[in-house]
Amino acid sequence: MNPQQTVTHWIEILPGIGWLTAGLCAWLPCMALAGELVWSEEFNSGDVPDSTVWSYDLGSSGWGNAELQNYTDRPENARIKDGALVITVLEESSGGASFSSARIRTQDKVTFKYGTIEARIKMPDLANGLWPAFWTLGNSFSEVGWPACGELDIVEMGSGTAIAQGVVNRRVGSTAHWEHEGTHASYGLHLDAAADLDDDYHIFRMTWTPEKVETFLDGTPVWVMEIDSANCTDCTEFHEPHFIILNVAVGGNYPGIHTPSGIAAPLPGEMRVDYVRIYDDGNTEMGGSAIDAANPVIGPAHSGSWYNPAQSGHGFSLEFGPDFLGNPLAVAYWFAYDDQGNPMFMMGTGTPEGNRVEIDLVSPVGMVFGEFDPDSVTREDGGTLVFEFSDRDNGVFSYTPSEFSSQDWGHSAIEAMPITRLFGVPAPAGFELPK
């Protein structure tokens, strides 16, 4: 499913792509097992797709493929119903086109590089003229365009060849598109399922590693492409973050139907998506505004005073900024008490990672007000603090006492105590920590 160009479902003959391989998994047990679930869209809440995660592509430009639909952001074309995303194709006058549909994407909001992505989808009856797809584009699309951004079609259905052969509701295609020596290159294969795929939900999966990309239908291999540097010297597009797209097109070059009268698919037509899930296979990198909001990167905006309102009387002063080399640094001061009620403070530094920072605490002991003798001061191990922030104004802290702080001060462990901001210190304009 190309963003602005005609889809070529099969191999484009280009020099130097003889290394491409596919079909071996039909005889080898090469389906990768998914790892830890790191992101999912379950479509279980709201009436329309979550705007913090999904944006809409709009218009009836033909999308470079002579398509016949107008993409809208109306709930009539994209809504949440019965725990699923429903993309509906309607036969109606819409934006100068004879059909309306929807195309939603996670560009800049949810991106990923490597890992396993899958969606549970019930396809519409395609015969003839509907073109549903579950696919990804490189998140650099807005800057470098297509095909330089790279494209991975996990599944697209409805090809003209499948229509001609009477298998349009069974044929699953997977294709990669990229830039090769300044021109468009593509490589794709298909699998004919044993039965029509509009009868029920089916799982469409892609595993993406630094070495290769593989796609599956209900666990059965469809296609594999090697993308490591030894086999593909110009596949940099497949080593950068991608975003997710779900859509149903009508007609165009892929189905080979260019007039509204040629569309014979029963309408309204619905593609239902039960979920989209991403699993970490050991190399997965998640990004985008929705991911950052859920797992905020700690920065100067978190500097200030923090406390637990239910335990007013002790708290933290936190400072976040770069060290003299420009690396992220956190400094924490904890105003607390020992088990006898005597006030004390501990301090320490740590390196922020995502929404978390671990602080090794020390406490100076032996000071006398007004008569400071450096030789009388010792720095005792105060234990370890861990801060985890859910947003700019809320988080939790945990504390593991040291042997010294436990025995001499009577400190005990604290597990995930909520904290909130008392007040903050504004960061310099335009300042951001390295991510």
The whole-angstrom separation of Cα 374 and Cα 36 is 51
Residue tagged 């700690």 (tokens)? 298
151 catalytic? Reply is yes
Alpha-carbon distances of 269 from 47, 53, 88, 90, rounded to whole Å: 19, 24, 6, 7
Vertex 160: Cα angle to 156 and 163 (nearest 5) = 95
Tokens of 14: 């280009």
Residue tagged 């030894």 (tokens)? 230
380 catalytic? Reply is no
Q: What share of the chain is helix, strand, coil (3-state, %, to 5)?
A: 10, 45, 45
Tokens of 235: 């596949």
The catalytic position among 156, 214, 237, 388 is: 156
Tokens of 358: 């671990």
The whole-angstrom separation of Cα 289 and Cα 106 is 10
Contact 238, 206 (CB under 8 A): no
- 229 in helix, strand or coil? coil
The whole-angstrom separation of Cα 121 and Cα 201 is 5
Do β-strands 97-101 and 84-94 pair in parallel, antiparallel, or remain unpaired?
A: antiparallel
- The b/e string for 377-409 (b: 16+ C-beta within 10 A; e otherwise) is eeebbbbbbbbbbeeeeebbbebbbbeebeeeb
Alpha-carbon distances of 249 from 39, 157, 287, 431, rounded to whole Å: 27, 10, 28, 43
Nearest CA to 227 out of 151, 172, 146, 139 is that of 151
Q: What is the DSSP string of 40-72?
A: EE---SSSS--TTT-EEE-B-S-TTTT--EEE-
Contact 269, 130 (CB under 8 A): yes
Nearest CA to 60 out of 243, 249, 264 is that of 249
Alpha-carbon distances of 193 from 23, 126, 189, 269, 295, rounded to whole Å: 15, 15, 13, 21, 40
The catalytic position among 41, 151, 179, 388 is: 151
- 95 in helix, strand or coil? coil
Residues catalogued as catalytic: 151, 156
